[in-house]
Amino acid sequence: MTNDRGQKEGGSDGAANHLCCLSSIVHRHVSGRLVIATHNPGKLAEMRELLAPYGIDAISAGELSLKEPEETGMTFAANARIKAQAAANSTGQPAFADDSGLAVDALDGAPGIYSARWAGPDKNFSRAMETIEQNLFERGAGTPQQRKAHFVSALCVAWPDGHLEEFEACVDGTLVWPPRGDNGFGYDPMFLPDGQTRTFGEMGSEEKHGLPPRGKGLSHRARAFLKLAEACLDRP
């Protein structure tokens, strides 16, 4: 017998079938050489550090002189997919891409997927941070509660045959001014993660996104990578 939503009465069989379907998902294993689909030196360094313990031989799209695809997606996941698929199709090898950015509550989620574009063609993130601060000032966002923001990272591994593995994570925080610290890249110096006393710009790479057991996997990229590693990588 079914109820008015077409579900079996009692729900136990349906729940069991759902769990069975979830457990039957087979992820593809990542091994050997992997193309990192980025031309951003800071992002490349972070992604190489994350992959190193797993014995992955990584080379970047920049090092291969691959053309950067136009990021026409309307979500972080869509743009990560575009970059990974472009690199995989160009090289005939599996490719790994990240699309990440800063979403500010008081700015209705901006800059979001346009985080890199706010820095302009010369990648001037000091100017981009000043633009965010000016926008917050104009909206009267002066208290920490009014300056809440989130770093989001979407990761995609694409194979030349079209197979995709996709993962996403975020970290919540507050924007500070003036920026603090010279580490990291992008908007790191103005982002204070919840529960921390130092911005990402004041943290070393191990503290920011180091993986367990030594690190806590604090950053958005590390959190997304932990999901990817659990599904697709051998334990180091």
Report the C-alpha gap between 95 and 78 in whole angstroms: 15
Active-site position among 57, 98, 99, 172 = 99
In sequence order, which residues have a C-beta less than 8 Å from that of residue 14 and are 6 or more positions away?
Answer: 7, 8
With beta carbons less than 8 A apart as the criterion, state whether 167 and 228 touch. yes
Cα–Cα nearest to 99, from 70, 58, 66, 57: 70
- Residue 118's identity, in one-letter code, is W
Residue with tokens 């992955």: 56
Beta strand ranges found along the chain (DSSP E) = 33-36, 57-60, 95-104, 148-158, 164-175, 191-193
Residue 35 — φ and ψ, nearest 5°? -85, 125
Residue 8 — φ and ψ, nearest 5°? -65, 140
Q: Does 4 qualify as catalytic in the annotation?
A: no
Q: Which long-range contacts (CB under 8 A, 24 or more apart) does 13-21 make?
A: none
Report the catalytic residues. 99
